[in-house]
Amino acid sequence: MVEGILKPSMLMTYRRGELAVNPDTRQLIRLESEMIKIRGKGLKSTCLFLNEEENVCLIYEKRPLECRILKCWDTEPVRNLFLKDLLTRIDLIPPGTILFNLVQKYEEAFPVEMIFEISQDIHAGHDSPADEPHMLADNDASFRAEIMKALGISADELLFFLGRPVSTLLEGFQEVKIGAKGEK
């Protein structure tokens, strides 16, 4: 992280297989690799570090690479960075630590591909246990609550360590029909 400026609570992980908007095509795609981004403010995509009143960046001198090359009048350099040379949680969380092991356990318990398949089955009207998505979302919420309590980690920090909650992924996958290769 940039000299301690970016903390886990300021970041969000989009796991491999999640949905994201390709800034070039504006199409919804499934990610082929993990992507870590600076969180927006609340539900907005406005940068967490933008002082909207004064229209200035709060970390300008120590801003990340993506921000350094961003020019509002010419977004091509930033678009060219999309999905290239990405940092992952494995790059940032020391192997063998409790958090590293928890991330691995979470990935095994709540794989994005399984969440995607459940959503697509529901969307297609296939038979599946009606409570399966709810049980999965409840199990995820319990897992997150246990981690927050045991380790004193905030919900905001979990967006970096574990990515978006299962309930959010289920909603997103059900809202749109996505092909197996990521086409809308």
What is the CA angle 106-13-37, rounded to 5?
Answer: 170
pLDDT for res 74? 63
pTM for this entry: 0.79
Tracing tokens 């979302």 back to the chain, one arrives at 137
- Residue 92: helix, strand or coil by DSSP? helix
Comparison of pLDDT for 120 and 4, the residue scoring more: 120
pLDDT for res 182? 46
Phi, psi of 47 (to 5 degrees): -55, 140
Which tokens belong to 125? 């009207």
